[in-house]
């Protein structure tokens, strides 16, 4: 329970945080501020944080996580955080591994509830480089540990593997990381063997998430799933521009560049498949006309190794013509 003096201090911290976030949002409306933010993320990814060299925490340490992708990583290392940002959204986005119902909601990703944070008495707050404007305020509550999962110019799959190792070292879970990475490699190797026997293994592959009847999101070679596709021996058909997650967005006409490609649709929203089926342009694309389109469920593009292995298994089954 917070006393009156502590509560006043926390409330003051919350007001300062919100004011700071307002300033950041205003500043980010300029291209210079956006470029600076992107540069800070790229720098954090390429330069190991000093905190990675600090001693590991005890196994019973109280951890707060302010990023949904990092929640997956922490849970995959057999650590249950005491608090996370909007747990319901972690569950809605994917929720694998499952998050226990006892985990406390600490507020929005970039507007945490400082009163709740202080009441949880965490030993560590795990954040991303995108939380840099908040670090000063967060460190009044507990030490922070910044982990990069994605960013401009990064190969996301290898970055996620490195991030998993860094977080495991900080949390004293090196043995769990060894098991996780070994299991990841084994499952991807199994999926690769299955895909190698399929008829269209040599065809370039578009991994798409339809957005509406005319536009799609597409996984680039450096996205999490693009990296997994490379490990599976598949050629990514998309060579266009991508965002910091390695994802691109395009209209249907751009997909005609690879007439011999195959397509896997991932997480198609309700109703959108019907829109596509009514589109003359969609029906005219060679991979549609020649029945080289398959479907899998939705997987988080900002996920960790659990998401990566589940995607690999689902993709292998789809390419084999197995219904999941």
Whose CA is closest to 39, among 172, 164, 137, 130? 130
Report how many domains make up the chain. 2
d(CA 267, CA 283): 20
pTM: 0.84
Does an H or E element contain 227, and which?
helix 224-231
Q: Which domain holds residue 249?
A: 179-319
Residue 128 is assigned to a structural domain of this protein = yes
Residues 113 and 195 in one domain: no
Q: Confirm whether 172 is domain-assigned.
A: no
Q: Which of 147, 168, 196 corresponds to the end of one domain?
A: 147
Query: How many other C-beta atoms lie within 10 A of the C-beta of residue 14?
Result: 20
The packing angle between helices 305-319 and 156-171, to 10°, is 140
Both 215 and 135 in one domain: the answer is no
Same domain? 219 vs 267: yes
Residue 43: inside a domain: no
Residues 120 and 56 in one domain: yes
Main-chain phi, psi angles of 231, to 5 degrees: -65, -30
138: domain CATH number is: 3.40.50.1980
Together in a domain, 315 and 186 = yes
Is 113 inside a domain boundary? yes
Structural element, H or E, at residue 250: strand 247-251
Same structural domain, 226 and 312: yes
**Same domain, yes or no: 208 and 129:** no
142 shares its domain with 190: no
Kindly state the percentage of the chain with pLDDT values over 90. Answer: 79
Sequential pLDDT tens for the chain (324 residues): 334 444 344 344 333 333 333 333 323 322 333 343 444 455 554 444 434 447 889 999 999 999 999 999 999 999 999 999 999 999 999 999 999 999 999 999 999 999 999 999 999 999 999 999 999 999 999 999 999 999 999 999 999 999 999 999 999 999 999 999 999 999 999 999 999 999 888 999 999 999 999 999 999 999 999 999 999 999 999 999 999 999 999 999 999 988 899 999 999 999 999 999 999 999 999 999 999 999 999 999 999 999 999 999 999 999 998 654
Give the H/E segment covering residue 56. Answer: none
CB 256 within 8 A of CB 285: yes
Using H for helix, E for strand and C for coil, what is the string for 272-313? HHHHHHCCHHHHHCHHHHCCCEEEECCCCCCCCHHHHHHHHH
Question: What are the CA-CA distances from residue 231 to residues 20, 58, 183, 308 (Å)?
Answer: 42, 35, 14, 11
């Amino acid at each position: 329970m917070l006393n009156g003096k502590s509560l006043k201090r926390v409330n003051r911290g919350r007001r300062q945080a919100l004011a700071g976030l307002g300033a950041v949002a205003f500043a980010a409306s300029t291209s210079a501020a956006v470029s600076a933010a992107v540069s800070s993320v790229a720098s954090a990814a390429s330069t190991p944080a000093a905190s990675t060299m600090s001693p590991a925490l005890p196994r019973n340490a109280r951890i707060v996580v302010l990023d949904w992708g990092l929640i997956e990583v922490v849970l995959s290392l057999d650590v249950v955080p005491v608090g996370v940002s909007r747990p319901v959204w972690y569950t809605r986005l994917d929720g694998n591994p499952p998050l226990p119902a006892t985990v406390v909601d600490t507020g929005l990703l970039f507007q945490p509830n400082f009163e709740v944070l202080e009441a949880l008495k965490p030993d560590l707050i795990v954040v991303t480089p995108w939380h840099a404007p908040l670090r000063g305020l967060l460190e009044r509550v507990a030490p922070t540990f910044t982990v990069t999962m994605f960013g401009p110019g990064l190969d996301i799959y290898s970055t996620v593997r490195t991030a998993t190792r860094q977080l495991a070292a900080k949390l004293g879970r090196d043995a769990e990381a060894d098991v996780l990475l070994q299991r990841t490699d084994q499952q991807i190797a199994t999926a690769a063997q299955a895909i190698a026997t399929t008829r269209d293994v040599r065809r370039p592959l578009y991994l798409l998430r339809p957005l509406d009847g005319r536009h799609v999101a597409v996984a680039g070679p450096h996205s999490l799933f693009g990296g997994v596709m490379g490990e599976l021996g598949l050629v990514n058909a998309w060579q266009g521009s991508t965002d910091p997650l390695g994802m691109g967005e395009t209209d249907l006409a751009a997909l005609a560049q690879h007439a011999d490609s195959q397509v896997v649709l991932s997480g198609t929203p309700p109703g959108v498949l019907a829109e596509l089926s009514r589109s003359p342009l969609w029906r005219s694309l060679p991979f549609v006309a020649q029945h080289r389109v398959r479907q899998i469920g939705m997987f988080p593009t900002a996920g960790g190794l659990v998401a990566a292995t589940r995607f690999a298994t689902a993709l292998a089954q789809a390419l084999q013509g197995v219904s999941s």
